[in-house]
Structure 1
């Protein structure tokens, strides 16, 4: 849902900027457009209009506050776009864990996510599983989403997840721990008619 909202906002902002640029281009060429400008020498806000609104004491603080909020929201949105949500790779220490200077290998985050999801799907009662790795390359965290079947036991599923999947993941990657957040959902079946 967030991806759809993001695309809609980017599309609307792009359309508004294209329309504004087209209006300025038409005004600069002296052609009739939709901006209240008559020609290339005309201005958007005349000196009389600017002096009239400047006489109000609240005008400039309001303009500065609104523009500051717009800039801060734009910077926040840009930072959210640049932040990588999923972990691209995990550092596996293959040397001496005490020294921390041993050889290291890089494991693709997607590959580890796929293996963990396949392991979780193998647990009794789990119909679907999704895994996302977050955090740092040297200290990843896992978010696991499980869809349980109608006869699955949530407690037994979590115990199996911890004892089997997470233990094997830590042993195979050499990670000291893999903090995990698990979200359980029940599968929704369509009702069937009995005749």
Structure 2
């Protein structure tokens, strides 16, 4: 969504800059100049496709603007997770609390310099996105195995979830180059 926002804002900004530059250039020619002359304004009125085409283009533009505005209001994180209980009912667990517990457990693993956890999906079927920053000498495979065996398994059992699909992204911590003397 961030990419779509940036592209939309860039296109809108370029269009506004072009319109402003055109208006500036029209105003420089003469102080009484207008952006569109009378001949330009009435040229397309006699063609059959002009009004339907204009209405269709404006409708598509309005629908895209509405879609973009609704996408901004959509929640990206889970507020709470439904934890099933033995009697068939469910309890509610705050999503931020589970994220914080997962982050603390992940950061305590050897070789992990930092962690970012993001829960999304539905209340009854949450999914996790985990971003780990590894120390320069860390073994990525061992870190992934420890994350699965310790952190994610503990989170699933403590929250009573049958499974917690997880997407893990690893990156190395930046460090300066070592110099030989």
Length-normalised TM-score, structure 1: 0.69
2:129 is the alignment partner of 1:149: no
Question: What residue in structure 2 maps to residue 19 of structure 1?
Answer: none
Aligned-residue CA RMSD in angstroms?
Answer: 2.9
Stretches of structure 2 lacking an aligned partner (at least 5 in a row): 17-33
Stretches of structure 1 lacking an aligned partner (at least 5 in a row): 17-35, 37-45
More RCO (CA 8 Å, sep 6+): 2
SS of the residue corresponding to residue 141 of structure 2 reads helix
User: Aligned partners of 1:189, 1:73: CA distance in 2, in Å?
Assistant: 44
Question: What residue in structure 2 maps to residue 86 of structure 1?
Answer: 77
User: Aligned partners of 2:179, 2:153: CA distance in 1, in Å?
Assistant: 44
Query: In the alignment, which of 54, 57, 62 is matched to residue 45 of structure 2?
Result: 54
Shift of 1:151: 0.9
Question: What residue in structure 1 maps to residue 26 of structure 2?
Answer: none
User: Aligned partners of 2:178, 2:100: CA distance in 1, in Å?
Assistant: 33
Shift of 1:58: 3.5
Length-normalised TM-score, structure 2: 0.74
Question: What residue in structure 1 maps to residue 153 of structure 2?
Answer: 167
Number of aligned positions between the proteins = 157
